[in-house]
Structure 1
């Protein structure tokens, strides 16, 4: 099912899942609104809403318990709760089939990369007016999380469900052995490169840094902070064309090329999984990863620390891939009302502490960081507090446009080639942009 305890799906698997259902994109668009029920709101009427959590095991148990709590608070509301599909990756296909057959839920977990496709289905609610209420504390969510829930910049299709970001994780054992000072939140990329060279000892099979060259979304999303910190953008302002093939993009990829090809200080991972394992086994000095990594490191007994990503001119931007609770329209005022009210309640700090924080995810809002519940998780998973603070550096949202998966594949493929010495940054990014533009126009593979 979705997340094993304290684990997050890799970005590569998320992108692959969306690509696998690409043939169903037509089912997500051009669908007329379905359902049909009460056109006027009666908050006392008995109402049933369907909730697909996309979760399993401990996570599903927690959410089912919260659904029961809500039903006790509102006896006229019944929440038909289930995982929704055999795995989170299968939810998009299940939603597409539901749109066609009129059997889609009122609320579903959704990967952020699906947000634009869901919005274009014509089936989502628009809750923009409701979340403008100061009592909702919409601005308490990170900028990246808000943007993901508003994929076209105007309509709000749901609430943030899970937030994350990439931080720098360093291996204290290797830093101590090399006599190096630990990284700090003020590090530059030059500091990072210098340390990576000093930590590399190929005779021992030891590297300063690990980077994915699988060509998956793991490869691509690790690149975005470099691009953004250098002043570049992934997309044009209208979201219709690639913009990463810029001077900023070339500078960002050249830096990684120099580390991988010239310094030979980067372990190039074809699998997306080995670099984490090698880091845990004291064979890689630094990785850029997220909250899902900490449970493995604790289990392995690895001595590690966490800081922000190194920065460019004081800019320490990171990348975040928030997921959402998408709300769907059944042309029933009562179902729409209670779907919104339930998810608003679920994402309030008290319930978020009982869900995301208890499960080992980052809290949705900064206001939860000082809570006893989060501090207990920090004690169990040191570094989680740094990752929570790093959410403030998630100023860009990872793109959610329908063609993003094709764009990601094009960028990831060219980055992988360059880091393995098979190309140069500028022409590689130009080639990637051509394929990305085809994907963005709907004419990609």
Structure 2
């Protein structure tokens, strides 16, 4: 997840998508059947990017047009922020003004798939020339909704442990290792906390957003739990309670955890030397570099040797306009954009991990890990992303309910068991229907 925040209104939008679009309208026909590669086509591409990355996207669209003069690609961010894209897409589905390609957070996949507006790319990506297997398994799973591939990974990432070496050195605490348990993490967080200097051992978002929720999932999985049992909420199992209690102990008992009400404060506080450790992703490396922070990266703390993490892949979702040439051209463009050669000009150029394993030996990746020393660890940590968040309609509703439960527990307002049970009850209708 390039930007871990979600708008509070996202839940309402998700419900609108899945409830008002009437479910899938797939008639079984390939949207690109009969595609003429020489046809004159204009595509609309909502990139969901900030200003600098948008300029890179525009240059790549121009490069593709030079190679395919019959295909013009109109690029724009699509909305004021990436968070706003889901609302914009929902309105576009109603009014018939949605794009051919849009950036989308992976946790929107279930609702977008249920809209009936996406292409079914299952057979397309299965062609050996696409090299689908080069992309991480978790990313491929997130691109799949209701058994159909609706998009192609646009970004891959994962959560790992980042630590400020100076704070560890000052406290005389040994640096984290890839073998750390959550008990090791908790003990270090307590030692690094210093109320006299307002220094905390670690931090956690309690905004109730997806940034709050998805940080819990690795602990849930490491303890043997699951998010859903079929379509029934299962995160309130004994494993879920144990996972949340692990966090509660640091926040409530030890007071070694800074609780961020906004999602936006804990990274700057880490970079300024006020927080010793955070669980975050490769997007943090740019600001760490700018802060000239001496930072290390290790695997997620684990349970019984299980160091599973969570990946937050984002997607290029392709939409159907009942025009075989637009469908075919959009597929060809995304295949080109996500190829190993061009991805080096896109993701690696803007500071993200590469999409494909074949890029690990490229000069561009060597330059990336030199510029961002933690990049190699995050790339290797993709192997620990063994499960994916569910791509079911209603996941956003579930996420918000779980996020609110986590926030309540970490702020000492309720027990883990009561909060998760309440979240499961509130989420049942959203994901089971």
TM-score (norm 2): 0.93
Counterpart for residue 430 of structure 1: 421
Counterpart for residue 222 of structure 2: 229
Q: Name which of structure 1's ranges 242-251 and 406-415 shifts more when overlaid on structure 2.
A: 406-415
Q: What SS does the aligned partner of 2:399 have? A: helix
Question: Structure 1 residue 166: deviation in Å?
Answer: 1.0
The CA distance in 1 between the partners of 2:43 and 2:130, in whole Å, is 21
Q: What SS does the aligned partner of 1:108 have? A: strand
Question: Structure 1 residue 348: deviation in Å?
Answer: 0.5
Once superposed, what is the RMSD of the aligned Cα atoms? 2.2
Counterpart for residue 284 of structure 1: 275
Counterpart for residue 211 of structure 1: 204
Structure 1 residues 125 and 180 mapped into 2: Cα distance closer, same or farther (>3 Å)? same
Note if 1:339 corresponds to 2:330.
yes
- What is the 5 A alignment of 1:265-284? 265-284=256-275
Q: Name which of structure 1's ranges 350-359 and 374-383 shifts more when overlaid on structure 2.
A: 374-383
Q: What SS does the aligned partner of 1:288 have? A: strand
Q: What SS does the aligned partner of 1:14 have? A: coil
Question: Structure 1 residue 146: deviation in Å?
Answer: 0.5
Structure 1 residues 83 and 308 mapped into 2: Cα distance closer, same or farther (>3 Å)? same
- What is the 5 A alignment of 1:44-443? 44-152=38-146, 154-236=147-229, 238=230, 240-441=231-432
Counterpart for residue 11 of structure 2: 19
Structure 1 residues 431 and 32 mapped into 2: Cα distance closer, same or farther (>3 Å)? closer
Q: What SS does the aligned partner of 1:21 have? A: helix
Question: Structure 1 residue 41: deviation in Å?
Answer: 3.0
Checking the alignment, whether the CA contact within 8 Å between 1:150 and 1:157 is kept in structure 2 is yes
Question: Structure 1 residue 377: deviation in Å?
Answer: 2.4
Aligned residues: 430
1:162-206 CA deviation, whole Å, 9 max, x = no partner?
A: 112111000100111122221121212122112112212222222
The CA distance in 2 between the partners of 1:363 and 1:186, in whole Å, is 26
Checking the alignment, whether the CA contact within 8 Å between 1:39 and 1:331 is kept in structure 2 is no
1:242-266 CA deviation, whole Å, 9 max, x = no partner?
A: 1011111111112112222222221
Checking the alignment, whether the CA contact within 8 Å between 2:110 and 2:395 is kept in structure 1 is no
Question: Structure 1 residue 423: deviation in Å?
Answer: 2.0
Question: Structure 1 residue 210: deviation in Å?
Answer: 0.9
Checking the alignment, whether the CA contact within 8 Å between 2:200 and 2:276 is kept in structure 1 is yes
Question: Structure 1 residue 27: deviation in Å?
Answer: 4.3
Structure 1 residues 38 and 252 mapped into 2: Cα distance closer, same or farther (>3 Å)? closer
Counterpart for residue 4 of structure 1: none
Q: Name which of structure 1's ranges 355-364 and 430-439 shifts more when overlaid on structure 2.
A: 430-439
1:217-244 CA deviation, whole Å, 9 max, x = no partner?
A: 22211111100111100111x2x22101
Question: Structure 1 residue 287: deviation in Å?
Answer: 0.4
The CA distance in 2 between the partners of 1:32 and 1:230, in whole Å, is 39
Checking the alignment, whether the CA contact within 8 Å between 2:43 and 2:74 is kept in structure 1 is yes
Checking the alignment, whether the CA contact within 8 Å between 1:369 and 1:385 is kept in structure 2 is no
The CA distance in 1 between the partners of 2:24 and 2:306, in whole Å, is 43
The CA distance in 2 between the partners of 1:135 and 1:23, in whole Å, is 37
Checking the alignment, whether the CA contact within 8 Å between 2:14 and 2:396 is kept in structure 1 is no
Question: Structure 1 residue 89: deviation in Å?
Answer: 2.3
Q: Which runs of 5+ in 1 are unaligned?
A: 1-6
Question: Structure 1 residue 20: deviation in Å?
Answer: 5.0
Question: Structure 1 residue 438: deviation in Å?
Answer: 3.4
The CA distance in 2 between the partners of 1:274 and 1:405, in whole Å, is 23
Q: Which runs of 5+ in 2 are unaligned?
A: none
Structure 1 residues 440 and 182 mapped into 2: Cα distance closer, same or farther (>3 Å)? same
Structure 1 residues 405 and 65 mapped into 2: Cα distance closer, same or farther (>3 Å)? same
